[in-house]
């Protein structure tokens, strides 16, 4: 069994480049299905989830060229593509559900297995189904698959989402681009990843207004054209390294993401006593330029109070790092989780490091201690795994994190980047099971 092993306490110092957002690039790849021809996506992170989406699109009949080192994916979409996304792939990555909208819109049929992905709580697909049905599709569950048909094509309509769901907004916007007439989606998600996919769709010839607001209007067109598009930087990865600097008392410059993508995060980091500087446009390692910022952590952070909310609120994906920071803060901090209840699974693992966390409903009260102690812990999802690694930076002794396949789904060169920032971390093999003698 492969694990990450690190020795603490340690501080992160140096520069780190952040490439495109996982939560955007996977949906951009799905959007390529809307246009016949070759779509090229740049600034693509070298992560496992991208490889899974490459395989999914290949099985649908696309020819996909992926250059992980160069960060480029090129997708040749034929006139006729398959309509079935198999359980084998969909269970490994929830973002696979994003092919549902494009396939229903262009091929007028789709069969997508119910998705798997991270164990972070209830994430119902009712809004995806209701939205597609409002657009004129017939959708039902059959043998574990969402089966959607729209023999006469989709038509414009008004859709009011019960919650500003990112996945539902993306699927319905993509489907509406080829629907007849005008579709208005109210209570739409506003995340930067939504803006990114809408921007690419407009480049492809879609007619979309209200991008970045809670009211998106899509006027359907007859066809879309392939394009070359650069993925927006990954604000969650950037936030991970920012919290790593803050909780380790470090000094890290993050390149490729600007603070405008992390407005609430910057406020909370400053509340913890960290210095957060907006660096504006700076050179990136690939020869391009992008925005960046610098975080200098306090010797011991102050506790912070955070409530996770849809953008522009505090991202739920950064919740584990708040708990990790509060765990070694000088006082008592509070985290209120308003989106995904099962993210509390992280708490039982960080407690093994000595964190003092009390759970009451959707609230986590964290009493800071001067230092944590190294232990064996297990990642339950992408962000929980990274959170355990960062907490290990403030733990005295050896911390081993298992379940690292979760982490590698969302972080490019995680161990190498942390080592470059001065963390004594390595990936090693550990024997599984118990030995009785």
Q: From the annotation, which residues make up the binding site?
A: 22-23, 94, 317, 339
| Contacts of 229 by beta carbon, 8 Å cutoff, 6+ apart | 28, 39, 40, 41, 42, 199, 200, 203
DSSP 8-state class, residue 403:
-
H helices present in 145-262, as ranges: 166-176, 192-203, 235-248
Ramachandran bin of 200, using left for φ above 0, alpha for ψ from -120 to 50, beta for the remaining angles = alpha
Q: What is the secondary structure of 251-314 as a DSSP string?
A: EEEEES--GGG-HHHHHHHHHTT-EEEEEEEEE-TTS-EEEEEEEE--SSPPP-EEEB-STTSB
Considering 118, 234, 251, 381, which one is annotated as catalytic? 118
- 3-class DSSP state of 415: helix
**Beta partners for residue 66, in sequence order:** 73
| Cis-peptide into 208, omega within 30 deg | no
Q: Which two tokens stand for residue 26?
A: 């996977």
The tokens describing 142, both together, are 């059959």
Q: Is 118 a catalytic residue?
A: yes
Binding region for UDP-N-acetyl-alpha-D-glucosamine = 94, 317, 339
Query: Contact, 1 vs 429, CB < 8 A?
Result: yes
Please identify which residue in the block is written with the tokens 């398959």.
82
Separation CA 224–CA 37 (nearest Å)? 10
**409 is written with which tokens?**
């789904």
Q: Provide the 3-class DSSP secondary structure of residue 106.
A: helix
* DSSP reduced 3-state for 315: coil
Contact 26, 97 (CB under 8 A): no
- Give yes or no for a contact between 153 and 177, defined as CB atoms under 8 angstroms apart: no
H helices within 308-403, ranges in order? 319-327, 345-350, 382-393
**Length of the chain, please?**
437
* Structural tokens at position 306: 């955070």
Q: Which sequence positions are flagged as catalytic?
A: 118
């Amino acid at each position: 069994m492969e694990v990450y092993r690190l020795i603490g306490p340690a501080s992160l110092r140096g520069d780190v480049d952040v490439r495109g957002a996982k939560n955007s690039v996977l949906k951009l790849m799905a959007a390529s299905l809307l246009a016949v021809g070759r779509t090229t996506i740049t600034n693509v992170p070298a992560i496992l989830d991208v490889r899974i989406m490459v395989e999914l699109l290949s099985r649908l009949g696309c020819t996909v060229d992926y250059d992980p080192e160069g960060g480029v994916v090129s997708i040749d979409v034929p006139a006729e593509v398959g309509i079935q996304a198999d359980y084998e792939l969909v269970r490994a990555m929830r973002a696979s559900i994003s092919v549902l909208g494009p396939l229903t819109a262009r091929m007028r049929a789709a069969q997508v297995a119910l998705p798997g992905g991270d164990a972070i709580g209830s994430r119902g697909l009712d809004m995806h189904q209701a939205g597609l049905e409002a657009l004129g599709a017939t959708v039902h569950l059959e043998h574990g698959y969402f089966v959607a048909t729209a023999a006469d094509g989709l038509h414009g309509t008004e859709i009011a989402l019960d919650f500003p769901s990112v996945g539902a907004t993306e699927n319905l916007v993509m489907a509406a681009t080829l629907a007849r007439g005008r579709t208005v989606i109210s209570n739409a998600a506003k995340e930067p990843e939504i803006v990114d996919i809408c921007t690419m769709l407009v480049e492809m010839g879609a007619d979309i207004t209200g991008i970045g607001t809670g009211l998106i209007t899509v006027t359907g067109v007859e066809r879309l054209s392939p394009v070359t598009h650069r993925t927006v930087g990954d604000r969650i990865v950037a936030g991970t390294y920012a919290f790593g600097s803050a909780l380790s008392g470090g000094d890290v410059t993050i390149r490729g993401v600007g603070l405008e993508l992390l407005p609430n995060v910057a406020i909370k980091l400053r509340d913890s006593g960290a210095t957060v500087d907006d660096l504006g446009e700076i050179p990136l390692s690939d020869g391009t330029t992008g925005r960046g910022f610098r975080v200098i952590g306090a010797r011991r952070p102050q506790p912070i109070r955070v409530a996770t909310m849809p953008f522009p609120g505090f991202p739920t994906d950064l919740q584990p790092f708040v708990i990790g920071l509060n765990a070694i803060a000088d006082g008592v901090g509070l985290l209120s989780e308003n989106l995904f209840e099962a993210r509390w699974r992280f708490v039982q693992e960080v407690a093994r490091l000595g964190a003092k966390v009390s759970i009451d409903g959707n609230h986590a009260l964290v009493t800071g201690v001067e230092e944590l102690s190294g232990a064996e812990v297990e990642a339950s999802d992408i962000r929980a795994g990274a959170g355990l690694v960062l907490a290990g930076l403030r733990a005295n002794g050896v911390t081993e994190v298992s379940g690292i396949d979760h982490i590698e789904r969302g972080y490019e060169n995680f161990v190498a980047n942390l080592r470059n920032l001065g963390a004594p971390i390595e990936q090693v093999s550990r024997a599984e099971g118990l030995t009785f003698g």
